[in-house]
A and B are shown apart, each in its own frame.
Chain A
Amino acid sequence: MATLGLAEFLSSIISESGVSGHEGKVAALVEKHMSGLFDEARTDALGNLIVLKRGTGRTPHPRVMLAAHMDEIGLMVTKIEDQGCLRVTQVGGIDRRILPGLEVIVHGRRDLPGVIGAKPPHVQEPGEREKSMKWEDLYVDVGLTADEARELIRIGDIATFAQTPIKLQGKFMAGKTMDDRAGVAVLFECLRVLRDMRHQADVYCVATVQEEVGLRGAITSTYGIVPDVGIAIDVGFGDQSSVPEYQSISMDNGPGIAFSPAVHQGIFERLTSIASELEIPYQVDPSPYPGGTDAYAIQMARGGIPTGLVSIPLRYMHTAVETVCLADIERAGRLLAEFIVRLDKKFVEGLKCF
């Protein structure tokens, strides 16, 4: 039975590792924390966690898929140098400028703490600090000799940011991999709200894998589920200094509801009208590009799936201190639950023609 509150749930799952392609542990944790909220759970060939909460009433039920990716960006060992230091590459898109001086955990035969070495100003060449460090300049120091390191670490082992959750003021929280564990928290919140509600639709909550390396989990999971409606939940660029107002959505102002070529206009309209009706704050989040989230892959599965996209405003994306506001997660969870409660055959049939 799920007993955790939202903050505890999120705090717990962002503390677990789950770099793209290595989501097994976080998948197990999510399933455990959601227990009592669903009827069935399974993991597919790529490792997507698919949780089903059945609807009621006459079958066949409409099928709705909610997808949030549970994978995180991270590092992968490419070489063990003779000094015992590890050369690494990125899994997913990492701004290498965030790395010098960062603490990491190398997931070898056991978890090993490591630091990404930074060259002190004293030994730098004049002008060196004018340039950012290249991947070739960076390495992880785990404090072992080469022989010791080779015993415990192999090429291809992964490393994650060693960042514990940080409770900021009010409902703000920071940590690694809020992108997109905040979305997984929306699934949790939505299931909690649905626990006490009746709905016709079979609800497939999918914690997808390998989004950060090309939406791979959403491609295969959608193919398998064949939903009538798909909604991706991901993070959006929250307002922060250095990002112009016209490229961001504001924090603690409700989820973004995307309007883009990846989104079916019927779903956009339904989501915005429910939010208006229930006075759930939301923000219209337009984008001319279809890509960048699982919505792209969901929409193009098989013969085409009517798809929506809901975004949690998030600051400092793809750093170790991604920041969200829990109120936005609660609002998104409630909005999706209300959307699901109102889903019926007639609505999903109507979506099939544009």
Chain B
Amino acid sequence: MKDLLKKLVETYGPAGNEGPIREVIRKEVEGLVDEVVVDALGNLIAIRRGQGPKVMIAAHMDEIGIIVTHIDEKGFVRFSNIGGISPHMLIGQRVIFANGTVGVFGMEKLDDIKDLRLSKMFIDIGAKDEASAREKVSVGDVAGLCRQACFQGDRVIAKSLDDRAGCAVLIQVLRELANKEIPNQVYAVFTVQEELGLRGARTAAYRVNPDIGFAVDVTGTGDTPEAPTMAVELGKGAAIKVKDAVVLTHPRVRQFMIETAEKKGIPYQLEVLERGGTDTGPIHLTREGVPSGAISIPTRYIHTPSEMADMNDIENVVKLFVAILEEQLDALIV
């Protein structure tokens, strides 16, 4: 699991440019499922056929990053954000482009650091002039954050745990189900462009047309000094989502997740996320509506190069999904 997670978080794949991460995931899931398809937006859909309801489980494979908007005559690169990026978080960071070019961030002279905006920053790729810069990058090129994963005790510190940790969960769930008979069909969807507005899940869910939907994503915690009020803590188990900005989990689905966790003795906590959303939002509004839930991985410092999660939580999320998929789910459907 650690090796898988390390490989996933370190692979390039900012939103809209998920090619490399998609290929890594494809290799992992081929052999575990009956069919793998890629749709018009680039979502990877791994299908495990069989009997019973169609269950869609989504984890997004895209990550936050930056996009080149302008290259000036001295070879400095201006950029904009791909997904939620704070300019303050970028100071001192490195990014890496698809071709391996590394850049560092600089900023214009400011009277007050509060005035920092992305439009006042630039990326320095060490180019001597515009021509040599253009050999390495072009307007429209996209870069991701550049950091290695590290494991310390039970904890993992890495970029893009949001939501490669969810991708690892999905892959691990498929592995554990590989030789089992289950009463459900599984559509494991590795979605694109979640960070740009939950886009991939929307078209994928329309295509899959599931009977039940789930998402697995990271969620914030309230367990750090002077944190916002939130009852979720690292290491306290899988977080069963009650609410976020885009979904109110159907009470029946929530109760089912809780009962399944209790039955199997899987540690869990309940999550109310005040800001931010996940792929469950578009999934549950697909066509005539889909009963949907989400299980989250408690994570600190989301959308920084050093997100932190607990490996036990990740494993408990895997266990809970396996347990759910082994259950008869017909009662959840209208």
Contacts of B229 in A (CB 8 A): 78-79, 87, 136
1/0 per residue, CB under 8 A from A, across B213-235: the answer is 00000000010000001110000
Which of B230, B243, B290, B334 contacts A21 (CB under 8 A)? B243
Q: Confirm or deny: B285 has a beta carbon within 8 angstroms of a beta carbon on chain A.
A: yes
B272, A76: Cβ atoms under 8 Å? Answer: yes
A78, B248: Cβ atoms under 8 Å? Answer: no
Chain B: CB-nearest residue to A21: B248
Secondary structure of the A contact surface, majority rule: mixed
Q: Confirm or deny: B144 has a beta carbon within 8 angstroms of a beta carbon on chain A.
A: no
Contacts of A223 in B (CB 8 A): 287-289
Known: A156-B272, A216-B285, A220-B289. A46 touches B231 (CB 8 A): no
Secondary structure of the B contact surface, majority rule: loop
Q: Confirm or deny: A70 has a beta carbon within 8 angstroms of a beta carbon on chain B.
A: no
B285, A43: Cβ atoms under 8 Å? Answer: no
Contacts of A80 in B (CB 8 A): 231
Q: Confirm or deny: A47 has a beta carbon within 8 angstroms of a beta carbon on chain B.
A: yes
Contacts of A78 in B (CB 8 A): 229-231, 272, 274
A155, B287: Cβ atoms under 8 Å? Answer: no
Rounded to whole angstroms, the CA-CA distance of A154 and B272 in the bound complex is 11
Which of A20, A136, A224 contacts B248 (CB under 8 A)? A20
1/0 per residue, CB under 8 A from B, across A69-84: the answer is 0000000111110000
B230, A46: Cβ atoms under 8 Å? Answer: no
- Among B229, B230, B248, B288, find the residue whose CB has the most chain A CB atoms closer than 10 A: B248
B270, A155: Cβ atoms under 8 Å? Answer: yes
Rounded to whole angstroms, the CA-CA distance of A136 and B291 in the bound complex is 32
Contacts of B288 in A (CB 8 A): 44-45, 220-221, 223-224
Rounded to whole angstroms, the CA-CA distance of A47 and B289 in the bound complex is 9
A155, B242: Cβ atoms under 8 Å? Answer: yes
Size of interface on A: residues with Cβ below 8 Å to B: 31
Rounded to whole angstroms, the CA-CA distance of A80 and B243 in the bound complex is 17
Contacts of B269 in A (CB 8 A): 155
Contacts of B289 in A (CB 8 A): 44-46, 48, 219-221, 223-224
Rounded to whole angstroms, the CA-CA distance of A77 and B248 in the bound complex is 13
- Chain A nearest CB: distance from B193 CB in Å? 20
Q: Confirm or deny: A89 has a beta carbon within 8 angstroms of a beta carbon on chain B.
A: yes
- Chain A nearest CB: distance from B296 CB in Å? 13
Rounded to whole angstroms, the CA-CA distance of A221 and B250 in the bound complex is 16
Rounded to whole angstroms, the CA-CA distance of A43 and B291 in the bound complex is 12
Given A46-B250, A155-B231, output 6 extra A-B contacts at Cβ < 8 Å.
Answer: A22-B251, A44-B288, A45-B290, A155-B269, A223-B288, A223-B289
